[in-house]
Structure 1
């Protein structure tokens, strides 16, 4: 169904566009018709999910496809623990769809507002040295190509294309269905403690190796790391959830409500940022509990921000972090948002930030009303010097010439794009920058 178009903007308010046409397909056939119609009109077409990317990867000046109505469970293969979902299904909807079958996703990032198609297409990931990003859980996809035809990729058909299409940046076609390799439901034991930052850095490799899922946050202007260590347990394990009131105080009142006020005030009075950061590490991040996996891996984030994240060879995380820490001190910036450090296993997806190497991720953020340019570009320079690859859905300045040097399968990917979308029906300004014309 076509509805009147207006201004589209992403969640971080870093990108916006007024599409010529907006459509809300509710079926795979409707997506095919939209792609065919766009081709006849000579218009480019892009699909959007939740708009949670901070880059212009989903910006659609021509035809914008909103996939909210293309959501839900298509099929379950219990024998192989696999489920097939429509591409617009949001990550936060998936646990309820899987629960009746005793299944769960193997790993998740800390935000679950994205669509499954958007999450895999941009390389969204969680943490855990033995686990890849969300796209590594994909064992099959169905894509509408530029001709309007369906391309099915999986174990039995076009299997060689899966490493490209599972993380395709929206450049190869419109994803309409994805098949996820699930696992049995499990519980996570969460231990979250503030610890001396220098001690955490000195033992970082050992912590990552010893944990199923390890990450830490660092508020600039403090010497404390907020560590998070999650241990996987059978679904039958008795749960010890956080008290409802305590969870509300930590996650709604402090982490979102009070924090929003401080971030807003910090734009006008940067001097309040360091003392608040020191207070924050004393008031939050000290708790232990166990819950079903999705309630531990994901959390509510309502304070709007902008983000840049770089993937590094895992062994380079500590020196890159220390260089960034020294940079912040030297520049005298007042940074209200924490720096996040996570880890992931190597994989073979052509444009995965963890392609061919065990990886660590350093993510920096700024409140959405603050200009992130100076901070992000200076940090980016450090990350590049340590072999960094930018997250496709988060802010960066790289172009195709630079990215080609950092991805061994880059030319294979662009050759496949030439084959599937020779007229660049799915192109936009961002894809032109990062992939070339």
Structure 2
């Protein structure tokens, strides 16, 4: 009979990256956080996670999960054992009757969506970032662009969690439900998410229309848009009063997606123009308003077609993002404040883009949409994480906090424990669950210590 410690040692030895590579620098996608893990363990099964976690516990080591999609945040930036979930991919099982499917947590959103499409189904609440892993999306509360849907965290059915002692817990609406409101958005503070069970529905064609609209009018129409649309996203260059609205409706009479991918050259032109616009604005910030007005003229508007949700582009050109979510009633004040901020410092915000979307309220304890519908406002900056970009992000965040916003945990933010406790009614409840599942703080890192200290 193999003992647990023997199993842990054997699996860890078989999956550890050699110690010659120890000390490799880990960096998140945006370049805003980095660390030097003491050891890297690649895992491809739940049993390998259990073995790695138990070995770390025996050694008294800290542990942190990373993967291709978790790398958008700084949550995993710490020393200790890095559990690399990038090979933990694939569908585990599907329950057509219940309308749920279970995936290994390192599966990306795009991979899971593609797998479900084979069943003629689409994921409920699929995040807008297709490169994010399901485990990373759950940990940070990622959201999509369906205005009547809550965040991905709120809409999943459950997760399989490996606690910091190596215990495997199935947490769902039927099992270990006391942990569900915390585990649905865990910030990586409760253990390692091994599997995510998502909900799905039968596919319907999504007909989208992209139109150029006045930003003030768009904000005034948010309540109507939330009630009547199935897809809603606004892209706004804040030097101008014009924005681009991508809005869509699911077609009830078309049970399967009949999307036609636009020619590659047509899809490439807007992205190329966006990069040119960003470079010009960076070197000629005083011309930013003129550049943006001209760019608006060249962007395609008033286009319409039947498309898949995954064909609507994400934010590949904007690595730096600070997103806060606000009660719907605050939207007009937020837009006005952004206009003033950008006008006061054209140099810092010359190439900025603002993305606005809608997220429905939920009951997830650390969710910025807890108990209320919100408007998600994301300030995006191109390029690397420089001192000038950091100053711009801080100015935007200070503005968003003053206007009553709460952060999207997947973006850049500096919120700390006392601030979180003051504005989040279930913050204390999350802390109690954290103590239950990680009593020794083995998932601690600088970001979590800042956020969970109170």
- RMSD, matched Cα: 2.0
- The answer for the alignment partner of 2:120 in structure 1 is 102
Deviates more, 1:173-182 or 1:128-137: 128-137
Q: Choose from 228, 233, 244 the match for 2:251.
A: 233
Structure-to-structure mapping, 1:82-97, within 5 angstroms: 82-97=100-115
Task: With a CA cutoff of 8 Å and minimum separation of 6, indicate the structure with the bigger relative contact order.
Answer: 1
Q: 1:122 to 1:378 in 2, by over 3 A?
A: same
Q: Is contact 2:127-2:137 (8 Å) kept?
A: no
Q: Choose from 368, 375, 379 the match for 1:360.
A: 375
Q: Choose from 324, 336, 357 the match for 1:310.
A: 324
Q: Choose from 281, 288, 293 the match for 1:278.
A: 293
Structure-to-structure mapping, 1:31-430, within 5 angstroms: 31-51=49-69, 54-234=72-252, 235-236=254-255, 239=258, 241=260, 243-245=262-264, 248-249=265-266, 251-255=267-271, 257-286=272-301, 287-296=303-312, 299-333=313-347, 334-369=349-384, 370=386, 371-430=388-447
Partner SS for 1:417: helix
- Alignment TM-score, normalising by the size of structure 1: 0.93
How many residues align? The count is 431
TM superposition shift of 1:304: 4.7
Q: Is contact 1:310-1:391 (8 Å) kept?
A: yes
After superposition, the C-alpha distances for 1:18-77 in whole angstroms (9 at most, x for unaligned) are: 211111111111111111111222211100122555541122311111111111010110
TM superposition shift of 1:148: 0.6
Once residues 422 and 52 of structure 1 are traced to their aligned partners in structure 2, the CA distance between those partners, rounded to angstroms, is 23
TM superposition shift of 1:269: 3.5
The answer for unaligned runs of 5 or more in structure 2 is 1-14
TM superposition shift of 1:374: 2.9
- Alignment TM-score, normalising by the size of structure 2: 0.90
Partner SS for 1:164: helix
Once residues 33 and 21 of structure 1 are traced to their aligned partners in structure 2, the CA distance between those partners, rounded to angstroms, is 14
Once residues 146 and 67 of structure 1 are traced to their aligned partners in structure 2, the CA distance between those partners, rounded to angstroms, is 16
Once residues 203 and 129 of structure 1 are traced to their aligned partners in structure 2, the CA distance between those partners, rounded to angstroms, is 13
The answer for unaligned runs of 5 or more in structure 1 is none
Q: 1:354 to 1:53 in 2, by over 3 A?
A: farther
Q: Is contact 1:53-1:394 (8 Å) kept?
A: no
